[in-house]
Structure 1
Amino acid sequence: MTAARLLRTTAKVALPVLAAAHAAPVVSTFGPLRNRTMPRLSGRGRADHVALTFDDGPDPLSTPFFLRALEERRLKATFFLLGSQARRSPDLVREIAGAGHEIAIHGWLHRPLLLRGPRATYDDLARARDTVGALTGHPPRLFRPPYGVMSTAAHLAARRLGLTPVLWTCWGEDWTARATPQSVHRTVVRDLRGGGTILLHDSDCTSAPGAWRSALGALPRILDTCEERGLSVGPLHRHRPHVR
């Protein structure tokens, strides 16, 4: 066998194996399986506590409404910020941090990491971490991938950057044009359990225009439901033992 033919044969075998290894973590996207078998990645924590998290901000048109609603309830949350959005609204990033909320990152751009190689993945996370850290004075420690889809490269990059990936146990499907406050509340509480992590969106930068209003409208009812069930609500750093 010639060297060229050997290389072609090796590539035919190796490339599918490498692709499968890169995509293997995508299994964690399946919520029921993740919630049962991956408590740390799911954001499972104290049984008497629920972590409240928001993705895709900051957005000067919508995020201030969420900050006001949380201030009225005297509650803190975790905001997973897009680095590109943070760069556009640095004062809003500082306002979120100044209000005592936990700052985490959602990557630089809202693009699937499964379609990116190791270098591009690392650069995306590093750029978001460094930008947000420079604005707040504290390097973020938590990371949530766009669409909740992890890859092997994302896990490796997060480890190198000192970031812990955290997904969620329940969400409101609040990004669609058909979402309403009622549907968001109903969808969240369907899977709401003590020790869980709620995902909502404080921005529509990757959602249907105005979709954030459905999340904002549902927020008081979601918080009331948690209170009725005897569950405290707060950011992920109060949600031990599994998040940190």
Structure 2
Amino acid sequence: MGRPPHSAAVVSTFGPLRDAVMPRLAGRGRPDHVALTFDDGPDHLSTPRFLDFLDARGLRATFFLLGPMPARSPGPAKETAAAGHEIAVHGWHHRPLLLRGPRAADDDLARARDAVADVTGRPPVLFRPPYGVMSTAAVMSTAAHLVCRRLGLTPVLWTCWGEDWRRRATPQSVEHTLLTDLRGGGTVLLHDSDCTSTTGSWRTTLTALPRILDTCQERGWQVGPLREHGLPGLPRG
């Protein structure tokens, strides 16, 4: 996801307050479950590797797709949906919504939603804003939320990430960073594509995944998509 300084401050400053007063936006679900989510795909080189790994584990996840990716290469998106994973939308342009006007934000989300629906055959219902700029600070300006409501999209962020987009990230650093903040009911943010990250970073993520999932199992947490996470106001899968 690659975090510019201005948006990183928004997320980190308001994260605890967001988790407490807006659990659905934060991705806070039932305490015996962890939601596994991936951003920025699908990519024809990397996403099939994640699908194979998850299939071998008997797990499903939520994939937040960037609109141009399935539009350019629809195969991986179709495979992800056919494998039973939850398909969500990450916008079209990977730019913070707060830096764009209401009309541009509406066009961006509608274009991405329609592209994902055309490829997968089903309109997405969940949305993750690029850089997470839909935290408490963003609520003060409700344009993005109004756009989501009009398009039938529910925004969901995350409670912990592995910072797997960083140039110096290693499987060990991704695992440590993510597990330090992970609690039951949390939503994990990782990336199955390096289109907005350091080249090849998806390999780091894929290498870190087994230990992350093993730790969830050791702690007695089920792992699955957001539709099974028990988010307030959303139907269970």
TM-score of the aligned structures, taking structure 1 as reference length? 0.87
Match of 1:55 in 2: 39
Q: Is the 8 A contact 1:130 1:139 kept in 2?
A: yes
Match of 2:214 in 1: 224
Structure 2 matches for 1:18-167, cutoff 5 A? 30-150=14-134, 151=138, 152-167=142-157
Identity within the alignment, %: 72
Gaps of 5+ in 1: 1-22
Rounded to whole Å, the distance in 2 between the matches of 1:127 and 1:106 is 11
Q: Is the 8 A contact 1:84 1:128 kept in 2?
A: yes
Q: Against the structure 1 CA distance between its residues 186 and 75, is the aligned structure 2 distance closer, same or farther, given a 3 Å change threshold?
A: same
Cα distance, 1:169 vs structure 2:
0.3
Rounded to whole Å, the distance in 1 between the matches of 2:46 and 2:92 is 19
* Counterpart residue identity of residue 215, structure 2: T
Query: 3-state SS of the aligned residue for 1:52?
Result: strand
* Counterpart residue identity of residue 64, structure 2: F
Rounded to whole Å, the distance in 2 between the matches of 1:166 and 1:190 is 21
Q: Against the structure 1 CA distance between its residues 107 and 29, is the aligned structure 2 distance closer, same or farther, given a 3 Å change threshold?
A: farther
Match of 1:191 in 2: 181
Cα distance, 1:29 vs structure 2:
6.6
Rounded to whole Å, the distance in 2 between the matches of 1:43 and 1:27 is 13
Match of 2:4 in 1: none
Cα distance, 1:33 vs structure 2:
2.3
Moved more, 234-243 or 99-108: 234-243
Cα distance, 1:174 vs structure 2:
0.2
Q: Is the 8 A contact 1:58 1:93 kept in 2?
A: yes
Q: Against the structure 1 CA distance between its residues 86 and 222, is the aligned structure 2 distance closer, same or farther, given a 3 Å change threshold?
A: same
Rounded to whole Å, the distance in 1 between the matches of 2:230 and 2:218 is 22
Q: Is the 8 A contact 2:27 2:231 kept in 1?
A: no
Cα distance, 1:218 vs structure 2:
0.7
**Aligned with 1:173 (options 163, 178, 181):** 163
Q: 1:87-140 CA deviation, whole Å, 9 max, x = no partner?
A: 111111100000000000000111111110000000000011111011111110
Rounded to whole Å, the distance in 2 between the matches of 1:27 and 1:49 is 23
Q: Is the 8 A contact 2:38 2:192 kept in 1?
A: yes
Rounded to whole Å, the distance in 2 between the matches of 1:198 and 1:27 is 15
* Counterpart residue identity of residue 128, structure 1: A
CA RMSD of aligned residues (A): 1.5
Q: Against the structure 1 CA distance between its residues 243 and 219, is the aligned structure 2 distance closer, same or farther, given a 3 Å change threshold?
A: farther
Cα distance, 1:212 vs structure 2:
1.1
Rounded to whole Å, the distance in 2 between the matches of 1:190 and 1:241 is 22
Q: Is the 8 A contact 2:11 2:132 kept in 1?
A: no
Q: Is the 8 A contact 2:44 2:75 kept in 1?
A: no
* Counterpart residue identity of residue 169, structure 1: T
Cα distance, 1:243 vs structure 2:
6.0
**Higher-Rg member (1/2):** 1
Match of 1:7 in 2: none
Cα distance, 1:71 vs structure 2:
0.7
